[in-house]
Amino acid sequence: MFLRSCRIPVKSIINKNENIIPKLARLGIFSVSDLLSFYPRDWEDRGNMVPLKNFKDNCVCTLVTVLSREFMGYGPTRAMKVFVEDDTSQAVLNCFNLSKRPWLEKTLVTGSRHFVFGNFSVKKGALQSSSFKTSVETKADKFNKIFPVYSLTSGLKQINIQHLTSELLKRYAKEIEDELPLFITQKRNLLSKREAIKEIHFPSSLSSLERAKETLVYEELFYLEVMVIRRSLERKRINKGAVSTGGEKEFTPLQRRLLDRLPFKLTDGQRGAVEEINGDMSSNAGMARLLQGDVGSGKTLVSFLAALKTQNGAEKGQAVIMAPTELLARQHAENAARLLEPLGINIAFLTGNIKAQGRRELLKNLASGMIDIAVGTHALFSRDVEYNNLKLIVIDEQHRFGVTQRALIMSKGKNPGLLMMSATPIPRTLSLTVFGDMDVSVIKDMPPGRKIIKTHLAKESNEKKVYDFVNKELQKGRQAYFVYPLIEGADGIKDAVSMADRLSADIFPGFKTALIHSKLPEDDKKKTMDDFRRGEIKILAATSVVEVGVDVPNATCMVIEHAERFGLSALHQLRGRVGRGQEQSYCFLVYSDDLTDEGKMRLKVMLENNDGFIIAEEDLRLRGPGQIMGKEQSGYLVLGISNPIRDMDILVKAREDALSILENDPDLLLENNRVIARVLNEAPPFNETAL
């Protein structure tokens, strides 16, 4: 059996302890496969002896003799001190809550000998531990091993998962089949899947644990690459015969007319991107391009210019621009109307909130080709929406979309061009894996005159200073955002709803404050944003709903409360809401007084960097790709054990192997490659439309 397609429910193998089932479910474990693929987050090496005197990273693993004992307290607080020694030193084992752990008193008797593994530190001049595990000397074989440490949920113990996993391995290990071709396993010196699974849970040595990790990481990245490369080959196949005509990069007359109407010049990066897009779109080999540019680099304008390219004389078609939130879609639609309608282009705005008559009318005009450019949310791709001649699809802030249903989107036209825009920059290393088949344009420069945003860290107890500073900016006629992690109430955390009241009543009574978050009706949000843009509202109390795209150049202050609760890339996005005009802008990251040093270090990355690419790399390193992309949000990057940044060297090998296999045998018909075809068929590791 393939482990990944084995759907035997855990229920069927648990006979005693049934109340464990809902707890496993909380960890996402429902089947045998889920449990065996629930890899440890760490391992305890109790095989390697570390005597008391030489304790390493506070950790000790040694054989001790109990010298004497001392008891304290009564009833539930009864405790015991056990004085022990090994060949190198003496130490104290503190046993609190003795009433709950009666076996300690029974086993750790004076004169007995035990293996001890635990965290030790020197307190009051003595080496001590309150967190340790013991086992009698005679059971050495049960103790002196490498033990897995799993991420748990309340009510589960390490031993529960250890027992279950070991039980499952006894029953099913021999049935686990390899999911990689044998020649690859040999070439890369990997373990068989069966060995890898056994070793990852119960390693026989540290070196075989390493090989097990390497094997599983390789397998995951290999399939990621196989799928990415297959899709890329598919695209080439569709476009076969469509020989590139050496695409025309020149700006079209309509594009030039738009530029003439702008009060500024394109940056070099914008110009380069438009030329590349023009080239793709006039080469009839189809476009699949990712446009990367930091927040504020002016991607929207590039997308408008791309849309104009579809409005060319005889080959005139339609373009759609899709944004992840209604707020942003509306802003784009308004800008498109302002900039493009004077050129004689018909713009439409479509979201899920447009109902009945209005919607029918819109759909009719889209189907007839009356509308040239449609701007909206994913409603643009609802089942009942038809286009007359869809030539270009722009997806803004593509990292915010759920599983981007690329197939569905693409089916709305005849092989339309695809332009994805991303501001949470996807580091090069990652874009290679995930967008392996896409061309990439990068806008490296910012529009001129932008001042670097001054970023400050502030403790919550110092927030008065922050308020005073913002007050001065407001006095000068500027505007401010205050962002909170929650819409409404949790203990000890400031939320947008109650802070909106406090900001307007107590903190800035002289300035008009409004509240904005995702749960408000769209009409209210629209009105608030309009008033804020016009400067009637001075302060927005918001959630991260303002994270993407919002563009109000007169806003110069961004205050993010409980900043430690946001990811670095989200912070960078939020900070990018200011610094969009000519004035100096400021960002304050306010954190709780009790934030750990580690947490502070993380926030400091924001002080030292203005470059979204570096911040994203840092975020990846600290949190891994699942987190950065938002596991639920972004279906496309749900990786288990691998981290493409950390495992770059394995990724490169996996990509090389996948490429050479698919180039020689694109349909995976050769005997050697059959297993790959079977895996893709029986249990595709990634959702294909998501890639």
Q: Is residue 313 exposed (0-12), middle (13-18) or buried (19+ Cβ within 10 Å)?
A: exposed
Q: How many binding residues for Mg ion (CB under 5 A)?
A: 1
- Least Å from the CB of residue 302 to ligand ADP: 8
Rounded Cα–Cα distance for residues 187 and 493 (Å): 54
Is 295 or 499 the residue whose CB approaches Mg ion more closely?
Answer: 295
- Least Å from the CB of residue 420 to ligand ADP: 13
Q: Which two tokens stand for residue 47?
A: 């095989």
Stretch that binds ligand ADP, among 196-204, 278-286, 292-300, 433-441 (CB under 6 A): 292-300
Q: Which two tokens stand for residue 512?
A: 């008009």
Stretch that binds ligand ADP, among 34-42, 221-229, 298-306, 630-638 (CB under 6 A): 298-306
Task: Determine which residue in the list 36, 217, 229, 301 makes contact with ligand ADP, applying CB under 6 A.
Answer: 301
Q: Which residue is nearest to ligand ADP (CB)?
A: 298
Rounded Cα–Cα distance for residues 481 and 470 (Å): 10
Cβ partners under 8 Å of residue 46, min gap 6: 61, 115, 117, 133, 143, 144, 145, 146, 147
- Least Å from the CB of residue 676 to ligand ADP: 39
Q: Is 325 left (phi over 0), alpha (psi -120 to 50) or beta?
A: beta
Task: Determine which residue in the list 317, 549, 612, 624 makes contact with Mg ion, applying CB under 5 A.
Answer: 549
Stretch that binds ligand ADP, among 5-13, 61-69, 195-203, 546-554 (CB under 6 A): 546-554
Asked if 185 and 193 touch (Cβ cutoff 8 Å), the reply is: no
Task: Determine which residue in the list 177, 445, 522, 551 makes contact with ligand ADP, applying CB under 6 A.
Answer: 551
Q: Which two tokens stand for residue 226?
A: 């196989």
Cβ partners under 8 Å of residue 45, min gap 6: 61, 146, 206
Task: Determine which residue in the list 247, 296, 324, 624 makes contact with ligand ADP, applying CB under 6 A.
Answer: 296
Of 332, 320, 329, whose CA–CA distance to 352 is shortest?
A: 329
- Least Å from the CB of residue 571 to Mg ion: 17
Is 274 or 423 the residue whose CB approaches ligand ADP more closely?
Answer: 423
Residue 643 in contact with ligand ADP, rule: CB under 6 A: no
Stretch that binds Mg ion, among 143-151, 214-222, 542-550, 561-569 (CB under 5 A): 542-550
Task: Determine which residue in the list 51, 286, 352, 447 makes contact with ligand ADP, applying CB under 6 A.
Answer: 447
Q: Which two tokens stand for residue 428?
A: 């090069």
Where does 393-495 have alpha helices with state H? 406-410, 428-434, 463-475
Is 263 or 510 the residue whose CB approaches ligand ADP more closely?
Answer: 263
Residue 293 binds which one of ligand ADP, Mg ion, none, with CB within 5 to 8 A depending on kind?
A: ligand ADP
Binding mask 431-470 for Mg ion (x = CB under 5 A): ----------------------------------------
Asked if 571 and 560 touch (Cβ cutoff 8 Å), the reply is: yes
- Least Å from the CB of residue 343 to ligand ADP: 17
CA distances from 106 to 17, 77, 98, 110, 432 (A): 26, 17, 11, 10, 59
Task: Determine which residue in the list 580, 602, 653, 655 makes contact with ligand ADP, applying CB under 6 A.
Answer: 580
- Least Å from the CB of residue 442 to ligand ADP: 12
Residue 134 binds which one of Mg ion, ligand ADP, none, with CB within 5 to 8 A depending on kind?
A: none
Binding mask 249-288 for ligand ADP (x = CB under 6 A): ---------------xxxx--x------------------
Question: Residue 71: helix, strand or coil by DSSP?
Answer: strand
Asked if 349 and 330 touch (Cβ cutoff 8 Å), the reply is: yes
Rounded Cα–Cα distance for residues 430 and 439 (Å): 13
Where does 239-350 have alpha helices with state H? 253-261, 268-282, 299-309, 326-340
Stretch that binds Mg ion, among 186-194, 364-372, 535-543, 548-556 (CB under 5 A): 548-556
Q: Is residue 592 exposed (0-12), middle (13-18) or buried (19+ Cβ within 10 Å)?
A: middle
**Radius of gyration of the CA atoms of the chain, in A:** 30
- Least Å from the CB of residue 23 to ligand ADP: 44
Task: Determine which residue in the list 33, 185, 255, 300 makes contact with ligand ADP, applying CB under 6 A.
Answer: 300
Residue 47 in contact with ligand ADP, rule: CB under 6 A: no
End-to-end Cα separation, the chain, in angstroms:
26
Is 549 or 635 the residue whose CB approaches Mg ion more closely?
Answer: 549
Residue 266 binds which one of ligand ADP, Mg ion, none, with CB within 5 to 8 A depending on kind?
A: ligand ADP
Per DSSP, 122 falls in state: E
Is 279 or 296 the residue whose CB approaches ligand ADP more closely?
Answer: 296
Q: Which residues pair with 117 in a beta bridge?
A: 61, 133
CA distances from 618 to 291, 296, 568, 642 (A): 21, 20, 8, 17
Task: Determine which residue in the list 423, 545, 662, 691 makes contact with ligand ADP, applying CB under 6 A.
Answer: 423
Is 417 or 549 the residue whose CB approaches Mg ion more closely?
Answer: 549
Q: How many binding residues for ligand ADP (CB under 6 A)?
A: 19
Element (H, E) at 483: strand 479-483
- Least Å from the CB of residue 299 to Mg ion: 5
Q: CA torsion sign, 404 to 407 to 411 to 417?
A: positive
What are the backbone dihedrals phi and psi of residue 442, each rounded to the nearest 5 degrees, phi first? -120, 130
Question: By the criterion CB under 5 A, which residues form the site for Mg ion?
Answer: 549
Question: By the criterion CB under 6 A, which residues form the site for ligand ADP?
Answer: 264-267, 270, 293, 295-301, 423, 447, 549, 551, 553, 580
